[in-house]
Amino acid sequence: MRRAVAVTAAALSLTGGAALAADPAEGLWLVQDKDAKVRIAPCPDQAAQLCGEIAWLRAPTGADGKPKTDAHNPDPALRSRPLIGLTMIRGFHAVGPGRWEGGKIYDPKSGKTYASKLRVTQDGALKVDGCVLMICKTQTWTRG
């Protein structure tokens, strides 16, 4: 009896571990321009969704020596927030392993927000599709 319980517990722990495995879209990604890295993980307040924040900038400070801020944000009240740590990907829902849709991506270079999709390709890259109206662009991000 004890052996059966131990085997069942071991099997359940293995199954639970697989269920808790990170989605292939999670992790640190170097953006296409290679000037920033974004850390993608479950959203802090919605674990079933993916979010991403800027984790690294090639040039983290401006000409004044101060940390770069969200200077192009359309909301003047948000223009002083630092870029590092800024959430730029939010609200993505899984549609399959490594495939996420329904989210938004914020481009701090332009201050614009786009409807977006994420998908991990067979070669391990992350395709980031962003659309405004009917104009869409795709970027390829690599593991950072």
What CATH fold (topology level) applies to the domain 23-143? Lipocalin (2.40.128)
Which pTM value belongs to this model?
0.83
pLDDT-wise least confident of 11-15, 116-120, 124-128, 136-140: 11-15
Query: What does the alpha-carbon distance between residue 59 and residue 36 come to, in Å, rounded to a whole number?
Result: 9
How confident is the prediction for the chain on average, in pLDDT? 88
Over residues 31-58, the pLDDT tens digits come to: 999 999 999 999 999 999 999 999 999 9
Above 90 in pLDDT, residue 18?
A: no
Burial track 20-33 (b if 16+ CB lie within 10 A, e otherwise): eeebebbbebbbbe
In this predicted structure, what is the pLDDT of residue 132?
82
Contact between residue 104 and residue 113 where contact means Cβ atoms under 8 Å apart? yes
Over residues 53-88, the pLDDT tens digits come to: 999 999 999 999 999 999 999 999 999 999 999 999
